[in-house]
Structure 1
Amino acid sequence: MPTANPPVAVLSIKPPRNSTGADVAEPVYGGYANGRGDVVLFTDEAAYGVNFKKQTLQPRPQLNPGAQARYDRTQAGDDFQYGNKTFRRLSEPQVVEICESGAFTLSPRQLPY
């Protein structure tokens, strides 16, 4: 989700378990929650699903152009529809709160079965 807007917060990402490497600080530009409460945050080049219980991030696909257009037209904190689903665009304070809740471990992407 490349953007000209400044980042809202910075997300601290630890490498996957049993992996070498240093923590990475990724600027976060926004995010959304789906009807089940699953949260996705956007960095400049990636999207991450957030697992608060395990403090992990799961790589997710970026929004497709239609969903991205609806997201961009939606005020922070408001709902937007895409297809037959409702999503809530996270407010800046919500994104900041998530990012400040601690470092997250990057989980390897799960393959569909």
Structure 2
Amino acid sequence: MLDAVRIAKALSDPVRYQILLMLARSQKECCPVPGARDQRPGLCNCEIMAELGLIQSRVSYHMKELAEAGLVTEEPRGKWKMYYINQKTLTGFTQLLKSDFNLK
């Protein structure tokens, strides 16, 4: 079951919101691994760090919050992690908001 409050709290931080937008708009994978099973678009720590000017520990903190809210999934890639938007959670959250607030 979705935790709407936890998701809303995760999205309330401007940096995390920006990261989620970056993930939603990502077109290619930054650090592809030959033969890897998952080739969907995503971002690695290095791209988020470069785009937002954050150090690795700050990116890790924000990604932990997004992952715990169920908004992203992560996959280790050597010393980095690849992050992917969890469309199922995001879609469920928007549907829950519509239902809770009687929106069409």
TM-score, length basis structure 2: 0.26
Of Structure 1 and Structure 2, which has the larger fraction of its residues in strand? Answer: 1
Of Structure 1 and Structure 2, which has the larger fraction of its residues in helix? Answer: 2
